[in-house]
Amino acid sequence: MSRSTVVSGLHQVPGDKSITHRALMLAALAPGRSTVAGALTSLDARSTASVLRQLGAEISPLRPGQQVEIRGHRRLTAPRSTLHCGNSGTTARLVLGILAAHPFAARLSGDASLRRRPMRRVTEPLQRMGASVVAGAGDGLPLTLTGGRLNPLHWTLPVASAQIKSALLLAGAIGGVTVDLIEPALSRDHTERLLAHFGYRLHRRGNLLHLEPAGVIGHFTTRIPGDPSSAIFLVAAAILAKRGEIRISDVGLNPTRTGFLAILARMGATVDATHQGESLGEPYGELVARPAALRGVVVSAEESAGIIDEIPMLAALASRAEGTSRFEGLAELRVKESDRLQLMAQNLNAVGASAEVRGDALEVTGRLGAYHGRVVTLGDHRIAMAFSVLGSQPGSDIRIDDPGCAAVSFPGFAERLAALFQPAGRRS
């Protein structure tokens, strides 16, 4: 990688992972032909496409730079074999919600990492709605769900989770029943925006979300905006540089996804966001990032709920900030692709930073100087990318055991990161 300290250029990031999953799922449930441009083509997105094909949807290959064509049907068909969700928790949990409204049995599994992730938080309310679930002794995959006629649901979510919320909303929308959800904190609202686009009535009063299944999912054409959870890695690299400025175009600016911008501002960085348009109810625009001197920050548990995917990069930035930063309410990081909370602290200390886990909080004390050491990712893409950004600084020598795992959400990440340090005018 270039060791230049100057960043420049206009850049793009892959399509939003959360919206890609949901757009493919809704297109599979829409009679006729839908077209999705800018879709993420990562391993997780391909897992969703593969599962939907097994359920009767016709989906063209997900290839970079090509639009995806989906021919869907109002009702899915029973799969002939196990639905393998790969490493994708979004695929598994949202598909469970969809399947709950279909009168057949389906067995779901995934890779070793996904099989360790909790599923009862989704299957328990789906069982309350009328679905049948047969699982092993643990709390994860593999499991078999049999759907059918559903009952209305009133449920308090145990954690703020867009995946749990989305699974239950999709079950209600497809099953034609009302759903009332009480969230401990607000989470990403992509599913609400998409369902509202198709005429479903959603009302929020404080932390209570109500769904009336009044809509009809129809075929559509859309472009997926760039993923802000991917953009943060390029933004962070620009913040740590010595000079220059980068622009990232066509990035999703959904307010439930851009909480990290407020955190960066408190740390002393200025990242400008300019609204450019909307697609299927999702706003998008341009981010402009410049170098900045950082200071420590305290991030509350309520804030953390909305930036859980950005915590690894924010924690890595905190290791270069003046003072000590504290990130609270990170219990959900323990059940991601890895125990992301413990792994972040372990790796920060391994390269020469100072980090400590205190309960469900992470404390990071910043320091100057180059970082050296080996990073263990356990296949966690966000860990790999966060430490790649730290390793892009001159004098650093950070060796990452599996940099290729970044392809889970950001195909071609190493090349995109290196492109920030190329002469102005180059586009990535």
DSSP states along 78-137: --SS-EE-TT-HHHHHHHHHHHTTSSSEEEEE--HHHHTS--HHHHHHHHHHT-EEEE-S
pTM over 0.75: yes
| Least confident stretch, 21-30, 164-173, 174-183, 334-343 | 334-343
Residue 276 scores a pLDDT above 60: yes
Is 309 labeled as catalytic in the residue annotation? yes
pLDDT at 200: 97
Tell me if residue 195 falls in helix, strand or coil: helix
Mean pLDDT of 198-212: 96
pLDDT at 425: 40
Mean pLDDT of 307-331: 96
pLDDT at 423: 63
The residue among 381 and 333 whose pLDDT is bigger is 381
Compute the Cα dihedral for 103, 142, 382, 66 and give only its sign: negative
Mean pLDDT of 281-305: 95
Mean pLDDT of 355-363: 95
pLDDT at 136: 84
Q: Are strands 132-135 and 143-146 parallel, antiparallel or unpaired?
A: antiparallel
| Least confident stretch, 166-175, 180-189, 287-296 | 180-189
pLDDT range class, residue 185, cuts 50, 70, 90: confident
Residue 133 corresponds to which tokens in the numbers above? 């679930």
Tell me if residue 346 falls in helix, strand or coil: helix
Mean pLDDT of 57-83: 97
Residue 314 scores a pLDDT above 80: yes
pLDDT at 227: 96
* 153 phi, psi to nearest 5 deg: -130, 135
Q: Residue 330 in contact with residue 361, Cβ under 8 Å?
A: yes
- What confidence tens digit (pLDDT) does each residue in 381-400 have? 999 999 999 999 889 999 99
Ranges of H-type helices in 287-400: 301-306, 311-318, 340-350, 381-391
Residue 387 corresponds to which tokens in the numbers above? 């430490």
CA–CA separation, 43 and 21 (whole Å): 11
pLDDT at 17: 93
pLDDT at 409: 87
Mean pLDDT of 207-218: 96
Mean pLDDT of 129-147: 94
pLDDT at 428: 46
Is-cis flag, bond preceding 142, omega within 30? Answer: yes
pLDDT range class, residue 289, cuts 50, 70, 90: very high
pLDDT at 4: 62
pLDDT at 3: 54
Q: Which residues have CB under 8 Å from 184's CB, separation 6+?
A: 157, 158, 159, 160, 207, 305
Residue 22 corresponds to which tokens in the numbers above? 């949901």
Q: Count other Cβ atoms within 10 Å, centred on residue 417.
A: 24
Q: Residue 13 in contact with residue 199, Cβ under 8 Å?
A: no
- What confidence tens digit (pLDDT) does each residue in 6-20 have? 999 999 999 999 999
% of the chain at pLDDT higher than 90: 87
pLDDT at 346: 96
pLDDT range class, residue 66, cuts 50, 70, 90: very high
Q: At 230, which helix (H) or strand (E)?
A: helix 228-240
Radius of gyration over every alpha carbon of the chain, rounded to an integer in angstroms: 21
Residue 128 scores a pLDDT above 60: yes
> Which residue out of 44, 227, 250, 309 is catalytically annotated?
309
Mean pLDDT of 256-262: 96
Cα pseudo-dihedral 118, 160, 20, 82, rounded to 10: 20
CA–CA separation, 188 and 268 (whole Å): 25
Please list, residue by residue across 59-83, b when 16 or more beta carbons sit within 10 angstroms of its beta carbon and e when fewer do: beebeeeeebebbbeeebeebeebb
Q: Count other Cβ atoms within 10 Å, centred on residue 256.
A: 17
Mean pLDDT of 339-362: 95
Residue 369 scores a pLDDT above 90: no
Mean pLDDT of 33-50: 96
Residue 219 scores a pLDDT above 60: yes
Crossing angle for the helix pair 259-267 and 311-318, to the nearest 10 degrees: 0
